[in-house]
Amino acid sequence: MIWDTHAHLDDSQFNSDRDAVIQRAKEAGITTIVNVGTSESSCRQAVSLAARYSNIYATVGIHPHDAKDCSNETWELLSQLAQNPKVVAWGEIGLDYYRDFSPRDVQRQVFIHQLELADEMGLPVVIHDRDAHGDILQIVKKHPPQAGGVFHSYSGSWEMAKELLAIGFYLSFSGPLTFKNARHTLEVAANVPENRFVVETDCPYLTPEPYRGKRNEPSYVKEVINKIAELKAIPLEKALTLATENSMRLFKTTK
């Protein structure tokens, strides 16, 4: 059993062969995919995909890029979608100071509001953090999610990771873990406790080696788990078992 805990199969890059991509994932042993919402439209599509495929779960949330476009209607829609039994988390939420597509003060306000909504719904959170480590750490310390959560495609330091682990977060690793220059990420993956890591693709983005330069897809998550096993010096089967058990615990599922 292998989970891809963070995918964007609703992305237009999959419009021509989405079914084939999902079938390839099954053939590669990927038993479960979490399709992550980032906007009103992608949240609708994520829930729709989860309804169509037994092996796909969904999340709902507004990415920091779209924070400036949120309204009361946004929260009403997402709260309604979140009641679907196949919605397992609130996200992708957080801060992105690299692109700055939304003003930073708006990003922070929307992030905090979504942490509160996730608590109301009893859902764990999926957090996006790009070049915003200080602010995001301060916010999650002040507003720790009651149902837990995960920092997706973790890119911070081991020092920050230790603080997040103390709050109760899981750390997720993706394609950049396989890159030769991923010094900080390699250190974190080697040291993260065995019961607190999960793996993802973030497809169609962050393609791992040896497929770098191509569109990413769920079947490639095996390259990430291979790297985890190598870094932790544990058998691949043990790494697979740990990642699966951690994913099920994080998202509170039985398969």
The tens digit of pLDDT for each residue in 185-235 reads 999 999 999 999 999 999 999 999 999 999 999 999 999 999 999 999 999
135 touches 95 (CB < 8 A): yes
- Determine the Cα–Cα distance for residues 175 and 92; give it in Å rounded to an integer: 18
Counts for the chain of helices (H) and strands (E), in that order: 9, 8
How far, in Å, CA of 169 to CA of 89, rounded? 13
2-251: CATH homologous superfamily?
Answer: Metal-dependent hydrolases (3.20.20.140)
79 pLDDT more than 90: yes
Cα–Cα dist 211/129, whole Å? 24
Strand pairing category for 56-60 and 87-96: parallel
pTM score: 0.97
pLDDT band at 137 (very low <50, low <70, confident <90, very high): very high
Q: Specify burial of residue 168 (Cβ count, 10 A radius: 0-12, 13-18, 19+).
A: middle
Q: Output the pLDDT for position 96.
A: 98
Question: At residue 158, does pLDDT exceed 90?
Answer: yes
Helices 133-142/158-167 angle, 10° precision: 20
For residue 55, how far is the Cα from the chain centroid? Answer: 16
Average pLDDT rounded to a whole number, residues 64-73: 97
| Rounded-to-integer distance, Cα 175 and Cα 226, Å | 11
Indicate the DSSP class of residue 180. T
In this predicted structure, the answer to whether residue 255 has a pLDDT above a threshold of 90 is no
Convert 71-106 to b/e letters by CB count within 10 Å (16 or more is b).
eeebeeebeebbebebbbbbbbbbbbbeeeebeeee
Q: What is the pLDDT of residue 38?
A: 98
Instruction: Map residue 3 onto helix, strand or coil.
Output: strand
- Assess whether pLDDT exceeds 80 at residue 183: yes
Query: How high does pLDDT run on average in the chain?
Result: 97
pLDDT given at position 254: 80
Q: How far is CA 209 from CA 41, 84, 176, 213, in A?
A: 31, 36, 8, 9
| Block residue for tokens 């220059």 | 181
Minimal CA–CA distance to 246: which of 162, 150, 142?
A: 150
Which H or E run includes 154? none
245 pLDDT higher than 90: yes
Q: Are 116 and 79 in contact (CB under 8 A)?
A: no
Domain ranges of the chain: 2-251
Closest of 138, 228, 129, 134 to residue 177, by C-alpha: 228
Confidence of residue 162 (pLDDT cuts 50, 70, 90): very high
Overall average pLDDT of the 235-242 stretch: 98
Structure tokens at 21: 């991509």
Residue 125 has what DSSP assignment? E
